[in-house]
Amino acid sequence: MSMIFCNTLYSSSPSSLSPLTSTRTKPSRFSSKLRVRAQSQSMDDDHLRRKFLEFPYVSPTRKQLMVDLMTTLEDRLQSQLLPCSLPPDVRNFMNPNGCAEASLHIRSGDKSSPIDFVIGSWIHCKIPTGVSLNITSISAFLNSSTRAPNFVVELIQSSPTSLVLILDLPHRKDLVLNPDYLKEYYQDTALDSHRQSLLKLPQVKPYVSPSLFVRSAFSPTASMLKIDADEEEKLEEILREHVSPAAKEVLRVWLERCAAKGEEEEEMVVIGEEERMALERRDKSFRRKSIEEDLDLQFPRMFGEEVSSRVVHAIKEAFGVL
């Protein structure tokens, strides 16, 4: 809330005041303080966004992929997104002994937009065994004005030569009861071709999550894959030549076939009140369960109870599941 408030103040510069205000009027000290405060807040916001986009603990290829995906999302959806309103100690945080650090970037959608929110994050944690865990993820969630799928990409790495990739448009309707939904978003878009192409590489194998909930939440075309390379250079090559093009193409499909779909009047008319309420219930249940299965269990171990409580509360508020 503070970010939105300060940005509103910042937009009210003297040049945008009412014509009834004389340009010769000396600005009050109060107005000057507000402008300075707003400018300072804007600078802080820019700094925190740059901090998030640094992805400091991953390889250059992986960083470039995440930056490209996030900037593409924000550029294409810019007019539909509100500024990030998370407090600074939630946007970037670490545990008391400094062995774990994370950055969080959440932008909610405008009320008139089909976008509910976009979330990006990176997590770095040194495990007692000496291994470093690095997770980078970007997700985009739609609201109940459209039934279209969401978007998610996540890279989980605990070895210099291997990582887990999750890339998908998670469905929001039962695919058995809605075969047209399956055809429109998965078959007609040939999403499965990306999973199939990646699996042709000898270093790539299917990844099976130990969580039944996670496995039930993703579509049948999801690229849930484990990449094991002999050398770091080979892993970088696979990321650059194969994973990056696939991720960018899946995002393109989502932006053109899902995010834009909710803006069409015909789509809005089709969503009746009963279906809208069912989508809201399903979305909230998915988000609440995701937090319970992941953040509520892992964050206290990584960041301690105090930091974890503050950050998870802010995430729940952004997700609408408090």
pLDDT of residue 266: 43
Beta bridge partners of 152: 139, 168
Mean pLDDT of 223-235: 96
Question: What is the set of domains in the chain, with CATH numbers?
Answer: 50-260 (3.40.1500.20)
CA atoms of 314 and 10, how far apart (whole Å): 25
Residue 111 has pLDDT above 50, yes or no: yes
167 close to 158: Cβ distance less than 8 angstroms: no
Mean pLDDT of the chain: 85
pLDDT category at 284 given cuts 50, 70, 90 is: very high
Of 128, 77, 137, the residue nearest 100 (C-alpha): 128
CA atoms of 252 and 256, how far apart (whole Å): 6
- Residues 33, 37, 43, 46: is their CA dihedral positive or negative? negative
Global pTM value: 0.84
154 close to 135: Cβ distance less than 8 angstroms: yes
Q: Which residues of 118-156 are buried (b: 16+ CB within 10 A; e: fewer)?
A: bbbbbbbbbeeeeeebbbbbbbbbbbbbbbbbbbbbbbb
10 Å Cβ neighbour count for 71?
11
CA atoms of 60 and 54, how far apart (whole Å): 10
Angle at 152 between CA 146 and CA 158, to 5 degrees: 165
pLDDT category at 77 given cuts 50, 70, 90 is: very high
Q: What percent of the chain has pLDDT over 90?
A: 73
Q: What is the DSSP letter of 173?
A: S
CB neighbours of 96 closer than 8 A, spacing ≥ 6? 304, 307
Q: Please report, as a single letter, which amino acid is at residue 98.
A: G
pLDDT of residue 6: 30
